[in-house]
Copies of this chain bind each other. A is one copy, B any other.
């Protein structure tokens, strides 16, 4: 039994479901990444997870990060875990060779991320942030910024962050007010506050590099006046690192008392309190948000991976308990002298286990296909690049939200498998329950992603991207119809119903405008997500079925389990679209027309 993630399932996805090594073999950048290289990297990641990350998960919660007098203490196991990840090359894995990186395909990097986040999302998240911030500098920073910061970030000596949120600007980035006054040479005096900055400060690193949004004096209002800066905690004294670093007037006002992820700090930061914070412009003025958003797909996949990792850890913890814990007897067994049976023998417990497995492995499929799309988008020279990019754009709200929302529900069921033990800290379920919840808030709340899906994504190319997805689904459903006729029919019907719903809603957009169109965007997002994950499940089971017949890399039991889990998802989760369909196709505008004053 796995402890926190099924590397069997990850290998299945890579080799048999996505055929990832073959898909990327013609891209020059990924030379050498053959099937064997994928396997070796997965082995290496698992070893780090087993040895350095998973053992620290509970401890970092129990001995949580603290802040005293502006100094943030994190558990020594964080530094140790980050060191293992750095030495394993995982902070620079996707970076170009000339920067000392391994030019790893994202699909492989994110397979490893699923392992790391499953083992310990608190440690892995710090690494994830540094990589994300480094990628921003790599893509848009000057050569000077790259030379100063990237070697330090790839080596784990500097922590990276994304500093967006302000007290008055959370979901509404339009309203950012942090200011930047030019002082020449690409440098600016920075003033402002940032809140909820994950990894925003901690003593396990030499420096913290904030990728920060602010407005240059005189910039236009709204998102068109936002610029991106590198604002380090310690700034270089000169032009190069060799001249040393000095404090940059970035003050940690405190860290937040979070319900979970207590090993992963979120800081409240003050910039320029003593008028001595310098920021270094990234790219051009006023284009900061577009730079930031170009990295958002990555960050949102990252959030999906974090949620999936958490749900995966919870699944294996509850599965172990279900096999070990004797309790009760079958309903037909009335003799109290018969021994109790392990709770996995109860159908309702199996339901709660299959639910978790289906959410976790369905999310993994979605996330890795999305990662592969990104590899294709960035490396292919044919039309496939554009198609992959658009598909990724379209599905990003699902990629971020399904693992976060259904992952939370999955962990809730994992806790229920343990009963009272799940609520107490003798078992890790209560930590997974607290930890996973934040993912529906990180990187845009579920409501924001619902509006993104309906307000932007399905409208892309006048609906052509959505049509392309529908065509792919339809082809896949037909391809599976022979092997799984009932399930293919069920998904086919749901996909048609979703398409009709979309048409109906677009009519509302025309007739009644965006407020009416977007009122139930969160529900539409859930509907869409259930169909997309069912699509993955049907395709996975079809591969499993073929491997059962003709032989594959994994065991008969593995493939049978995969097919069973598909049946669970189609039978128990996909039908939830029926309720969503009923609501989304109703003409009653309950929440939209509700006067706030009636909320009492």
Contacts and interface: CB of A to CB of B under 8 A. Distances in A.
A489 interface: no
Interface in A575-600: 575-583, 586, 588, 590-592, 594, 596-600
A518 interface: yes
Given A348-B450, A564-B590, A579-B578, A558 B600 contact: yes
Nearest to A415: B437
Interface stretch (A163-171, A374-382, A390-398, A464-472): A163-171
Contacts of A581: 578
A387 interface: no
A170 B420 contact: yes
Interface in A243-266: 256-260, 266
Nearest to A599: B353
A328 interface: yes
B434 A259 contact: yes
How many subunits of this chain does the assembly comprise? 2
B575 A515 contact: no
Interface in A312-370: 319, 322-323, 326-332, 335-337, 340, 342, 344-351, 353-354, 357
B514 A564 contact: no
A195 to B, nearest CB: 8
A436 to B, nearest CB: 11
B357 A519 contact: no
Contacts of A596: 323, 342, 344-345, 350
Given A344-B596, A354-B590, A327 B561 contact: no
B170 A600 contact: no
Given A336-B222, A599-B353, A519 B347 contact: yes
A191 interface: no
A30 interface: no
A142 interface: no
Given A174-B336, A577-B579, A519 B348 contact: yes
Contacts of A425: 256-259
Interface of A is mostly: helix
Contacts of A329: 172, 174
A78 interface: no
Contacts of A451: 331, 348
Given A172-B340, A348-B519, A578-B579, A599 B416 contact: no
Interface in A495-520: 513-515, 517-520
B350 A594 contact: yes
A239 to B, nearest CB: 37
A178 interface: no
Contacts of A600: 1-2, 6, 8, 557-558, 561
A423 B425 CA distance: 19
A438 interface: yes
A412 B571 CA distance: 25
A567 interface: yes
A168 to B, nearest CB: 7
Interface stretch (A93-101, A278-286, A300-308, A440-448): A440-448
A80 interface: no
A141 interface: no
A408 interface: yes
Given A354-B591, A575-B583, A579-B579, A259 B424 contact: yes
Contact of A337 (B221, B327, B592, B599): B221
A171 B434 contact: no
Contacts of A357: 599
Given A328-B172, A347-B591, A594-B564, A423 B6 contact: no
A521 interface: yes
A430 interface: yes
B520 A351 contact: yes
Given A430-B259, A518-B331, A586 B571 contact: yes
A406 interface: no
Contact of A171 (B328, B408, B564): B328
A572 B583 contact: yes
Interface in A530-549: none
B560 A598 contact: yes
Contact of A433 (B223, B347, B437, B564): B437
Given A518-B331, A557-B597, A575-B582, A438 B412 contact: no
Contacts of A319: 599
A422 interface: yes
- Residue with the greatest number of chain B CB neighbours at <10 A, chosen from A171, A437, A451, A594: A594
Contacts of A591: 347-348, 350-351, 354, 568
B571 A588 contact: yes
B434 A416 contact: no
Given A259-B433, A424-B258, A438-B423, A332 B513 contact: yes
Nearest to A345: B596
Nearest to A331: B514
Contact of A420 (B196, B486, B568, B594): B196
7 closest A-B pairs by beta carbon, nearest first, are: A222-B336, A257-B425, A578-B578, A575-B579, A331-B514, A259-B430, A575-B582
Given A419-B441, A422-B441, A486-B588, 12 more contacts: A2-B600, A165-B420, A171-B328, A222-B337, A223-B336, A258-B430, A260-B423, A348-B520, A419-B445, A557-B597, A557-B600, A575-B578
18 contacts: A2-B600, A168-B340, A170-B419, A171-B419, A223-B336, A256-B425, A256-B426, A258-B425, A258-B430, A331-B518, A344-B599, A348-B520, A349-B447, A422-B441, A423-B437, A557-B597, A575-B582, A578-B582
